[in-house]
Structure 1
Amino acid sequence: MTSAKRQLHLNVGINTTGYLANAWRYRTGDRHDINNPEYYRRLTELAHRGLFDAVFFSDHPALMTDPNGRPFHTIDPLILCTALAAQVPDIGFVATMSSTYNSPYNLARRTQSADIISGGRLIINIVSSFNPNVAANFGAAPLPPRSERYAKASEFLDVAKRLWSSWDPAREGEIPDDRFWDAASAQAIDHSGDYFTVKGPLNVPVGPQGHPVIAQAGASEGGIDLAARHGEIIYCNILSRPAGQAFGKKVKDRAVAFGRDPSGIRIVPGLVVILGKSRDEALRKHELFSGTGSEDGLIARFVKDNGIDPDGFDPDAVLDAERFIPDANRIQAVGMGLGLSDLLAHEKLTARQAVRRSEGHHRLVLGTPEEVADAIIDLWADGTVDGYTLQPPRAPDDIEEFVANVVPILQDRGVYRTAYEQETIRDRYGLPYPLNDGGDAWAV
């Protein structure tokens, strides 16, 4: 028996106007798109044309009211993904959901239902909410400390896994003619833990994937633990090969320590692509879409964002990695802030160089379609990453450009599919199916 040829995985983020906050000024469409389900259908169909594994919806259950910005999250992603799955075939859906402000039963029921409706095309991205504005939308209690949020998230997923497998019609024995079903096929989970008490069973049966694929984002110590215990698709910020290899090893070593087979983990970091007919054109588009206007503007933003005194700052001096390690106790997400310090720990870069390596905390790739394809294949070919989650600066424009100009190159080089084949996301990613024993063991 021969194993299937390894293929590059690509998801694409399709939140509102695109990934970069200032790029909306240069996109096709109008401001009303972001609340129009038809707009998201068109983006999903475009992603389907590009044969992406899945469309990715991040989420933040709070409206950011900066009048100089734009809403980045609007329609509930699970509801939107369920509607889109009924309209667009094949492609998968990543719906971001908070473990901090949710109940395991409610999430397990809604996501299992959506996975059944979509035919096994759902991925849920479980996040630990970090914004006090989100906490304020769910009551008067303050945001829990980071350690508590991650401990709660881990128990949350333990419970959800057990619920997802709690009613399995495959357990049915011989059923007499006068009975509709074998009630013994559904088993209570009787969970009582530090954060949740849930009797069960779930009133939705096991889905086509066993349970939805679990994605996880975060590179703090708590995030690494959660990824190692539960994550199957890991969304992260990897800016270089050494940093990516170190991150992947850390997650997989931690998984082994928890008694889990690391072969069921896929590393699929974010990627911001800016295309041009030449590299110089791509550089100018970067300056435009970022809202900084020039390379000097990019450097000025770098100085401001990192709290550097601009007086006497030399943009051509090598940066000290330790200077950019984020405070482990800060309110904001720690994992995404680690990308720059991890990059600088492995490469000697100046600020002038660093501002062209990352945008919105993710790896930035600039240049012609051929240069972009080379860069994508580079970290995938040796297994540093399993693929990427494309974060287009503008939607739909940069998705259209990528599908038209980069996808054909990836296909010609034999690293990317030319048609959808596997029906479920688990099969497409080559992920194991959970055994029906409460969700803690994994099929191989």
Structure 2
Amino acid sequence: MAQFKRRLNLNVGINPGGYMQDAWKYRTGNHHDVADPEYYLRLARLARKGVFDAVFVSDMPLLRLGENSRPFQVIDPLILATAITSQVPDIGFFATVSSTFNSPFNLARRAQSIDIMSGGRLAINIVSNFVPEVAANFGKDPLPPRDIRYPRAIEFVDVLKELWASWDPRREGVVPEDQFWDSTVAHTIDHEGEYFHVRGPLNVPRGPQGHPVIAQAGTSEGGIDLAARHGEILYTNVLSRQAGHALGKKVRDRAASFGRDPSGIRIVPGLVPIIAESREEALRKHELFSGLGSEDGLIARFIQTHGIDPHGFDPDAILKAEDFVPSPDRIQALGFTLGLVELLTHEKLTAREVVRRAEGNHRLVLGTPEEIADQIIDLWADGSVDGYTVQPPRAPDDIAEFVEKVIPVLQDRGVYRRAYEEGETLRDRLGLPYPG
């Protein structure tokens, strides 16, 4: 079997229950798992067994109270990162954090502390939040508009990096006689920006990675700007080969225009795998786990999600990309909607076909373990993506099945590691450069 020079990056989501709406009904476990430390440790150990780069935890500081809702984002990701990395060796941790509802100094301190305590295994996934109800949990001010959230997020990460760089690693080992440390090792940053005024320095030294890996989730223009300036891992939705190439070129070209080395950016979008003994069985599991019961149910959800008039709608007619361009006034994750527009720009697809290409806005792959592996390798082999963040329909069941059935196929085909051997830190595992 041919050995690839590039190595596939794989992370796995471990939010409680699993990714798909009704899949929790068919999983091993119960509702107490959402607050059980051993449950999260079990998922992390499964991920380590599958030699994943890291586990990934999304977050929104909000509890929805609708009839069909469920607690999906529960334990604070940074607290969970501390617990898991202290108990489970090797595995990295992606913690989702908000730039809108955090202060740079506090986050810089907490994240760098965890990175030190974990031996360099932390990544932070920066989001700006788009749901107005979240703002109501943090005071009386409304959620800032998108044209403020992203510039603020860019400056937020500017300050994070300035604070993380406020200790000079070249001098930390040089201590004058009769002194505990040399205070000239650290310097103030005196940041005076539009949104933040921060003196510094950080009261935590540099960690094993220099600073935690920075991930970014979004492909709107604001999200692209943030990713190009600061992102090292781009977690988004890539539904086709053309979309992956277009996104990678856009982000890396813009990063180069900002003076960054574009080779330090990895595209690692979401992936929802439904594994079965046949494609037909996988299709039925898709209908079951979605809670919709049939392909017609999936189509009805598509119609409702996109505000389509159901009267006279033909699910077998070719969809037009321009009909799905997101309204700036609609409350939504703009980058996810743009993923559908990008897909329809390059492929002639019907609603019946589209509902089998994406689940929860991420790429859906269905079939046998070999077919799943084929679909993973397909977009990775030509550089459309650098890997995937697997979002299991059910947890722990589908993490275990992916580890037991799909990972060995990827290993046998020479695209995935059999053991952790790249180094000690998450940067080493992801093949990312260290900050200067």
Q: TM-score, normalised by structure 2?
A: 0.97
SS in 1 for 2:56: strand
What residue in structure 1 maps to residue 427 of structure 2?
426
SS in 2 for 1:170: coil
Structure 1, 58-67 or 260-269: larger mean CA deviation: 58-67
Distance (whole Å) between structure 1 residues aligned to residue 434 and residue 385 of structure 2 = 22
SS in 2 for 1:406: helix
What residue in structure 2 maps to residue 311 of structure 1?
311
- Structure-to-structure mapping, 1:28-427, within 5 angstroms: 28-172=28-172, 174-421=174-421, 422-427=423-428
Distance (whole Å) between structure 2 residues aligned to residue 330 and residue 353 of structure 1 = 25
What residue in structure 2 maps to residue 441 of structure 1?
none
Contact 2:214 2:231 in 1 (8 A): yes
Q: Report deviation, 1:6.
A: 1.3
Structure 1's unaligned 5+ residue stretches are 436-444
Q: Report deviation, 1:169.
A: 4.7
Distance (whole Å) between structure 2 residues aligned to residue 174 and residue 222 of structure 1 = 42
Distance (whole Å) between structure 2 residues aligned to residue 169 and residue 316 of structure 1 = 61
Matched to 1:107, the amino acid is: L
SS in 2 for 1:74: coil
Matched to 2:431, the amino acid is: G
Contact 1:299 1:315 in 2 (8 A): yes
Q: Report deviation, 1:331.
A: 2.6
Distance change (3 Å), C-alpha of 1:176 and 1:355: closer
Q: Report deviation, 1:242.
A: 0.7
Matched to 1:86, the amino acid is: S
Distance (whole Å) between structure 2 residues aligned to residue 309 and residue 83 of structure 1 = 48
Q: Report deviation, 1:288.
A: 0.4
Q: Report deviation, 1:345.
A: 0.5
Contact 2:82 2:114 in 1 (8 A): yes
Q: Report deviation, 1:306.
A: 1.4
* Aligned-residue RMSD, C-alpha: 1.1
Structure 1, 58-67 or 225-234: larger mean CA deviation: 58-67
Matched to 1:424, the amino acid is: T
Contact 2:176 2:182 in 1 (8 A): no
Structure 1, 22-31 or 264-273: larger mean CA deviation: 22-31
SS in 2 for 1:202: coil
1:6 aligns with 2:6: yes
Matched to 2:159, the amino acid is: V
Distance (whole Å) between structure 1 residues aligned to residue 309 and residue 374 of structure 2 = 37
Cα-to-partner distance string for 1:238-283 (whole Å, 9 max, x where unaligned): 0000111111111111111211110000000000000110110000
Q: Report deviation, 1:168.
A: 3.1
SS in 1 for 2:416: coil
Distance (whole Å) between structure 2 residues aligned to residue 44 and residue 350 of structure 1 = 38
Cα-to-partner distance string for 1:99-134 (whole Å, 9 max, x where unaligned): 001110000000000000000000000100111111
Cα-to-partner distance string for 1:380-421 (whole Å, 9 max, x where unaligned): 000110000000011011111101100000000000000011
Distance (whole Å) between structure 2 residues aligned to residue 253 and residue 224 of structure 1 = 11
Q: Report deviation, 1:173.
A: 7.6
What residue in structure 2 maps to residue 438 of structure 1?
none
Distance (whole Å) between structure 2 residues aligned to residue 375 and residue 100 of structure 1 = 36
Distance change (3 Å), C-alpha of 1:253 and 1:329: farther
SS in 1 for 2:328: coil
Q: Report deviation, 1:303.
A: 1.4
Q: Report deviation, 1:424.
A: 0.5
SS in 1 for 2:87: coil
Structure 1, 194-203 or 328-337: larger mean CA deviation: 328-337
Contact 1:173 1:182 in 2 (8 A): no
Q: Report deviation, 1:170.
A: 2.8
SS in 1 for 2:271: strand
SS in 2 for 1:273: strand
Contact 1:22 1:69 in 2 (8 A): no
Q: Report deviation, 1:176.
A: 3.3
Contact 1:60 1:134 in 2 (8 A): yes
Distance (whole Å) between structure 2 residues aligned to residue 16 and residue 239 of structure 1 = 25
SS in 2 for 1:160: helix
Q: Report deviation, 1:177.
A: 2.3
Contact 2:54 2:91 in 1 (8 A): yes
Q: Report deviation, 1:174.
A: 4.9
